[in-house]
Structure 1
Amino acid sequence: MLTGTSDKTEEYWPSISDLMSGLMLVFLLIAIAYMHNVEEGQKRIKKVAVAYQETQVSLYNKLMEEFDKDLPKWKARIDKETLSVQFMEPEVLFHTGSFEVTDSFKAILDDFFPRYLRIIFAKEYEESIDEIRIEGHTSSEWGNGETPQHIAYFNNMNLSQDRTRSVLQYCFSIIDDAGLEAKMRKHITANGLSSSRLVLDSEGREQKQLSRRVEFRTRTNAEQKIVEILEQFEK
């Protein structure tokens, strides 16, 4: 009897050992596959980041090449990090408290906007452009400067939104091309930001004159592509 029990036990334990070895092999294969997926994900994200940087640099260079001589007379500048064309002379853009585009700014847009679209919607960038944001910015004050800050913020929010819509509407009136209009409807938005992004000096003081501006900001789709890659590896 004892001999029979011992034989069964010896037969039983090797099977457990084989099972554990098999499980360890499975876990090892899973770990290798996971590490491979992580490595592949990192490579794909790096590829997107490199392409994003190259697109940023290329777009900036093209914008500067096209508009470098015009920027001083327009009182404008181009931000390399955000690919934003910033019009910084408020008296040229709108009359105080008004959202109607001045004749002076219309003349600038007549010259600027079609050339701008030719660059942004060029074939080499068409797969990279996510959004063109026309942004309206104000200073933090309203009226005589004695309006409470929270009221001034919302008053300026309404004004900045009305101004960007006016700019967008005028830009559409400039373009007489069905293909370009379709791209504009897909990519261009009007965004009033009130005083949420003030221009400050080196000591952190608001530069009210410079804060009142209109920007044409280009956003690429690199961030969205990275999110899509991460979502694939979470599934």
Structure 2
Amino acid sequence: MARGMRNTRRQYLSGHEEEKESYWVSYTDLMSGLVIILALVLMVAIFDMQGAYEEAEASVKQKEETIQKQNKMIEEVVGVKAKIIDELVRAFKDSNLALQVDKQTGTIKFSGGVLFKSNSTEISDGGKQYLKEFIPKYIGVLLSKQFKDQISQIIIEGHTNKVGDYLFNLNLSQGRALSVVEEIYSKDFPKFPQKTELSKIITANGRSHSVPIYNKKGKIDAEKSRRVEFKFRLKDDQVLDKIQKMVDKKDE
């Protein structure tokens, strides 16, 4: 009987040890599975991070290329405009005409008293003579073989001083700008090689008294504000405007 009890105890202990061993085997399998899962998750995370890094790197490279293209375009446009301005300055360096060449923009300004009498849209005799001397030389530079393919617009722009209300001065400034164009195409105006080509790109605008000129004391200079300006735009100026708008939008 004692021997039977010992056998029974051995069987119980043996079974209990088998259960423990089975338990540890299952636990080991579970841990091994978790390790594999964690390894897979880590690998996926690494691949995702690598993909995100490569995507970010590609995006940065693309932006850098875009900026380089924009900078190159700006340099080319600025270079062309600088050359045109240099030619205009050279063309009128020894001229007796009462004009000013803006060395930053290329705008040429005639004081209003040079071309028109006060409150008048009729060009004076002296003003007609000024235009006969100025226009062929001015257009000769802008529509020369060197620059004509770059020019998109030539603008005649009228400005007034603050005397009178906005609409009165708007009509006055527009009338003056139009009178200049009409004079250029009048039968008495001398012929010049680019006259027909000019008609395709010339425009006449009036700005009323919205862009006055100030003196050194910060007060409006009535005489200088009453003026006619000659401007030009390059074909690539529109692209530069878009670039500037994109830059301004990013800065907001």
TM-score range, shorter chain: 0.7 to 0.9
1:109 and 2:97 correspond? no
- What is the TM-score of this pair, normalised by structure 1? 0.80
Deviation at 1:180, TM superposition (A): 5.1
Is contact 1:41–1:230 with CA below 8 Å preserved after alignment? no
CA distance in 2, matches of 1:79, 1:229: 24
Deviation at 1:57, TM superposition (A): 2.4
Take 1:231 and 1:103, find their aligned partners in 2: how far apart are those partners?
Answer: 44
**How high is the sequence identity, in percent, across the aligned residues?**
27
Partner of 1:133: 155
Say whether residues 1:29 and 2:54 are aligned partners: yes
**Residue aligning to 2:21:** none
Structure with higher Rg: it is 2
Deviation (angstroms), 1:182: 4.6
SS in 2 for 1:86: strand
**Aligned residue among 91, 95, 101 for 2:113:** 91
Measure the CA separation in 1 of the matches of 2:224 and 2:243: 39
Structural RMSD (CA) = 2.8
Higher RCO (Cα < 8 Å, 6 or more apart): 1
Q: Indicate the residue corresponding to 1:160 in structure 2.
A: 173
2:238 counterpart of 1:199:
no
8 Å contact 2:107–2:229 — kept in the other structure?
A: yes
2:77 paired with 1:77: no
Question: 3-state DSSP class of the match of 2:146?
Answer: helix
Structure 1, gaps ≥5 residues long: 143-151
Total equivalences in the alignment: 220
Q: TM-score, normalised by structure 2?
A: 0.75
Post-superposition offset of 1:132: 2.0
Aligned to 1:122: 144
**Equivalent residues of 2:154, 2:232 under 8 A apart:** yes
**1:130 & 1:113 partners in 2: Cα distance?**
17
Quick check: 2:109–2:228 contact (8 Å CA) kept in 1? yes
